[in-house]
Amino acid sequence: MTAHQRHVTKEKKRETTIRKPHLRGRGPHFPLLDTIVQYEFEPGYVAFTMPSPKRLRVQVGSMTVADTTKALVFYESDHLPVYYFPIGDVREEFLLPSKTTTEDPFKGVATHYSLNTGITLVEDGAWRYLDPVKGCPPISDYMSFTWSKMGHWFEEDEEIFVHARDPFRRVDCLPSSRRVQVILDGEQVADSRRGVFLFETGHPVRHYLPISDTRLDMFAPSRYISRCPYKGISNYYHVTTSKKRHENLVWYYPEPVHEAERIKGLVCFHHELVDKILVDGVEIPKEATAASDGYF
C-alpha cells in the first residue's frame, strides 16, 4: 500500500467516526440541550423551550379556546413541562383582562386573564409574560392556561390529563414471566408469572398482574379515579385483609392510552403501601414517591 493509499484509508476511517448531521439528534447527544444557558443569579437553574409539532387544543366546556400546531413545551428546573400557545392561535375574543399579576424570578411578571365563552366564565384561567426577564426563553408572544381550570386538553384527537406530556419521558410495558409475589399484612395477595412490567422514566418499576392471579376475594370496588398523562384514567380497588381495610391500594386502567395498551385491565399494587413485593424470590427495594405516606 502506497503512502497515498494509506492516507485515503485513514481519512475514510476518520469520516466514519464523525456523526452525520442528520443523526446528531439521536442517542445521548441532543443539540438543543447544548444551547441552554443557566441563570446568572441562580447557577444550575435552567429554562428552555422545544417546539411541539402536535396539534394541541384547549376547551372550556364545549368551546375551543386555543388550537395550534405551533405550541412550545416549556421546561424549567423543578417544574413539570407546560404548553405555551402562540397568541395568534388563542381565541382572544374570549379573554378578559384580570387585575391579577404574579411575579416569578425566572420568567418575570405574569399578566393573568379570565375566559368568558358566553356560556362559561373561568376566573384567571390564562397567563402571559409580556416582558420576560433576562435568561428566560422568548415567550412574550405566547400564552398558557391553568390546566385544572380548563375542561379538556387534546393532543391531536386524544384527550390528555393532568399536565403536558414530556417528550423526554418514556413508558415501556414489557411482558415478563418472572414470578411476582405481593405480601400485605403478612398474607400473599398476589402470585403471578403473567405480569407486565411498566418502566417509566423517573419512576419505580410497576408490576401489572392479571386479576385472576390475585386474592380477588379481598377486593372491593372504589369510586376513586386518577388520571395520568401517559397512561390514561385509572380505577381502584380497596383491599381488606384479616387485619385491616386498605383504601385504594390497587389500581387498573380499563382503557389505557395506546402506548400503555399492554396493561389494559391488569391490576397494580402500591408497592409503597404493601409489606413487600418479590420478583423471582428477591425483595424489591421500595423507592420514596408521593404515595409513600399515602395520598388519598
pLDDT, position 199: 95
Alpha-carbon distances, residue 55 vs 66, 167, 187, 239 (angstroms): 10, 15, 49, 41
Looking up residue 177, the CATH number of its domain turns out to be 2.170.150.40
pLDDT, position 287: 84
Residue 10: its H or E element: helix 3-16
HEC string of the chain?
Answer: CCHHHHHHHHHHHHHHCCCCHHHCCCCCCCHHHHCCCCECCECCCCEEEEEECCCEEEEECCEEEEEECCEEEEEECCCCCEEEEEHHHECHHHEEEEEEEEEECCCEEEEEEEEECCCCEEEEEEEEECCCCCCCCCCCCEEEECHHHCCEEEECCEEECCCCCCCCCCEEEEEECCCEEEEECCEEEEEECCEEEEEECCCCCEEEECHHHECHHHEEEEEEEEEECCCEEEEEEEEECCCCEEEEEEEEECCCCHHHHHHECCEEECHHHCCEEEECCEECCCCCCCCCCCCC
For residues 49 and 154, membership in a common domain is answered with yes
Mean pLDDT by 10 residues, the chain (296 residues): 51 42 50 76 89 95 96 93 97 95 96 96 97 94 97 95 89 97 98 97 94 97 95 97 96 94 97 96 86 53
pLDDT, position 10: 46
Domain count along the chain:
2
pLDDT, position 5: 52
**This prediction's pTM:** 0.78
| C-alpha to C-alpha distance for 240 and 6, rounded to whole angstroms | 76
For residues 150 and 187, membership in a common domain is answered with no
For residues 153 and 118, membership in a common domain is answered with yes
For residues 156 and 50, membership in a common domain is answered with yes
Which has the closest alpha carbon to 249: 193, 188, 184, 192? 184
For residues 103 and 194, membership in a common domain is answered with no
Q: Which residue among 160, 183, 218 closes a domain?
A: 160
For residues 131 and 177, membership in a common domain is answered with no
Domain that holds residue 87: 31-160
For residues 84 and 176, membership in a common domain is answered with no
